[in-house]
Structure 1
């Protein structure tokens, strides 16, 4: 075999090996590309997985806020637990004209306390006028009547003068007496819940104990009902 033929035969196998190696490189390149794309897809899955975590966190915050509101509601409910037969809670508050009124001022007497939401509003005006109309009848029954709201003294005095009211009006701007007598609590209007004065009346006997409680009062005929109860004591 000549030297030229040996050289040709040696080149041919090497050429065939080179041809076979090219696909291997292509596969390696493909694997490298797929390996590079994997972290990107993993990153996307991490981002999409973050949304449920944030949703759960928001749910926890909502639950904690609801729990935080429960004690306030429970407190208002506890304060409204005044019942008939219990001793009337003491109070000391300013009244129209600048005087101070206390429960002890009426010791040994029958006393009516009517709690109204706001001075010079339609329902409260009718209620105060009705109690004023029956003032002499309450006096004959040995009973004094006091009106209480959270309005400042100036508003109470303006209310008194405008409608010629003859019932002493007490100002409880700090809601302490209102809460003690169960006349301060949750109210709802137009789908919203808020704290405010619950229209309530309380009749206290000569022994200083609560004889009757009227809650969620309807104004029409209410003063007459209270007078009848006071006469029956």
Structure 2
């Protein structure tokens, strides 16, 4: 048990470190004004139109780093700083979210798979904490593994979802960076492209750490379910 707890603690430290680097990078690149002077909204609309996508709306949403693409209503939702920002960070994030819209328009299979899992994963996430707590208590006091087994099944679903998210995010960044590189009137220096690539790479690393964290949780509770941590 101690080994698993140490592993989870290490994952937590790594996650915090990656998040710290990402936020630092984003803050720095948010201060780097684009030579083209375009806002995140303008970058997003330009990329969508270049791909022949006219049925997706670019909207401003509250919160920091709350940017996302919603395939159900076809909206690219940009946080206020990104929507109005005219920085390297704003352009990179806007293009990344439009990368998801491009995936949707081309029926990218990993995005479709992920979108289909969202409702089930949302329900599982909301209930999972209580199921695991009750499951651990029951298996500890009565030896009944059923509730914990349900919790482990929920963790498995979330872990699968986390790993499916990885190709979706990496592919969206790849599409964004390729489009930015071929549109030098938007990012017209090599340094701007390098900074955009750096920002999106660290953003992707947050998803990698999250997936590994989900896997560590799954291993821990699975070992508890099968009694491998009882010595």
TM-score by length of 2: 0.24
Higher relative contact order (CA 8 A, sep 6+): 2
More strand by share: 1
